[in-house]
Amino acid sequence: MTLNFSEKDTALGIETRTETTTIAARCFALVPCAGSGSRAGTLKPKQYELIGGKSMVMHTLAALGAVERLQHVVVVVSPDDAHAWPDAPEWPSHFRRMACGGATRAESVFNGLTALLKEGEHNPAAVQAHDWILVHDAARCLVTELEINRLIDACLDDEVGGLLALPLPDTLKTAVHGRVSQTLPRQDKWLAQTPQMFRAGQLHAALQAKAKENFEGVTDEASAMEMAGFAPKLVVGSPHNFKVTYPSDFALAEDLLGSRK
Ligand code: C5P
């Protein structure tokens, strides 16, 4: 895993590889876990609801914990939820929480990444700007080690990074007042999932550029990177890696997790 720096000869307008420095980039994970989950209809934030006897986020963390290439996994929780984690003692030693969640998902990711990169200023073992950060929703508890490794394999040598996503299987409609106004071509449409894997410094800069506008339009990390001019790579995920969002999703998640045992 290397990063090659080259110098640009602006007078000639050509790129010349006058000097090449090799820096090993490592993989870290950041899990936004600070949402209220209002669409789920649960009393507490959905990521803490039990699925098959274990809180949803613990299923998510079990998948991340199985990926050997992840150096550290940081879970960004809301400052209000810092105490609300009954099964935290089960955590692997390279996991920890940061109670710096924000008002939106993008803000939670930005706050977590800002804190991580600040730590890296004084500690070379902590996240550096050239390291990869995999951002994964706490609410996607069905992701597998295999899918995460597929993303890492596909992106490690990529200039930009990318995300798990699914080609749209169904016909896509737009609606006005509950009636179809148009059928859209689906050939080039994908459903974005997580993890999304980018260089920590580039992702932080892309989010920072949108911070003043309250992260308007930033619905995932890839959208921030796109606004910064990058074209993230699409890596085929799985239909099972859905985000638990609505009340009926809990039973489906429980069935699928149960069927894996
Ligand atoms: O609300 P939604 O399901 O889209 O959230 C996706 C993920 O982002 C969840 O894991 C949720 O906990 C997290 N999130 C967050 N901070 C927020 C809102 C959502 O970390 N303010």
E strand spans, the chain: 7-9, 14-16, 27-33, 50-51, 54-55, 70-77, 95-98, 132-135, 161-167, 172-176, 179-184, 190-199, 233-236
Phi, psi of 97 (to 5 degrees): -105, 150
Assigned domain for 17 exists = no
Assigned domain for 41 exists = yes
The Cα–Cα gap between 177 and 212 comes to: 33
Assigned domain for 69 exists = yes
Structural domain of 246: 26-260
| pTM across the whole model | 0.90
Q: Is the CB of 103 under 6 A from ligand 1?
A: yes
Pocket of ligand 1, candidates 108, 196, 244: which has the most ligand atoms within 8 Å of its Cβ, to mutate? 108
Q: Is the CB of 105 under 6 A from ligand 1?
A: yes
What tens-digit pLDDT sequence spans the chain (261 residues)? Answer: 444 434 443 444 444 444 445 568 899 999 999 998 778 788 789 999 999 999 999 999 999 999 999 999 999 999 987 556 655 666 788 899 999 999 999 999 999 999 999 999 999 999 999 999 999 999 999 999 999 999 999 999 999 999 999 999 999 999 999 999 999 999 999 999 999 999 999 999 999 999 999 999 999 999 999 999 999 999 999 999 999 999 999 999 999 999 987
Assigned domain for 13 exists = no
Number of structural domains the chain divides into: 1
Q: Whose CA is nearest to atom 21 of ligand 1?
A: 104
The two structure tokens encoding residue 135: 């951002």
Assigned domain for 175 exists = yes
Query: Which ligand 1 atom sits closest to the C-alpha of 109?
Result: 20
Assigned domain for 21 exists = no
Assigned domain for 185 exists = yes
3-state secondary structure of 33: strand
Q: Say how many Å lie between the CA of residue 109 and the centre of ligand 1.
A: 9
CATH number of 93's domain: 3.90.550.10
